[in-house]
């Protein structure tokens, strides 16, 4: 189990208003499957401003994803750790 004190230190750094602002901005951007480019273009600078190393990856002509690079694991910013337990398909 995670250290409770560590959890509290992390949560103390989170501003609920910032989370609501981010969610509100993302909700306003249409991002249907195969139409993710606008949200990728929004998220790339959002993450760069926070010192994340990200790249826009063209997965099909004109279709961009934002991919973050880190020492631990590459992935998409909208996904947590990839495990069978958290993965589902609609």
Domain ranges of the chain: 4-69
Let me know if 40 is exposed, middle or buried by CB neighbors in 10 A (0-12, 13-18, 19+).
buried
pLDDT for position 82: 44
pTM of the model: 0.64
How confident is the model over 32-49, as a mean pLDDT?
Answer: 92
How far CA 86 is from CA of 23, 30, 59, 80, in Å, comes to 21, 24, 23, 8
Element holding 45 (H helix, E strand):
helix 37-48
How confident is the model over 32-60, as a mean pLDDT?
Answer: 91
The single residue listed with the structure tokens 């249907």 is: 32
pLDDT for position 15: 92
């Amino acid at each position: 189990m995670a250290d409770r004190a560590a959890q509290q230190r992390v949560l103390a750094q989170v501003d609920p208003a910032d989370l609501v602002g981010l969610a509100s901005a993302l909700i306003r951007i249409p991002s249907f499957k195969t139409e993710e480019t606008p949200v990728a273009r929004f998220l790339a600078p959002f993450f760069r401003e926070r010192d994340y190393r990200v790249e826009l990856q063209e997965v099909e002509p004109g279709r961009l994803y934002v991919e973050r690079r880190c020492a631990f694991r590459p992935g998409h910013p909208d996904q947590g750790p990839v495990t069978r337990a958290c993965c589902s398909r609609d």
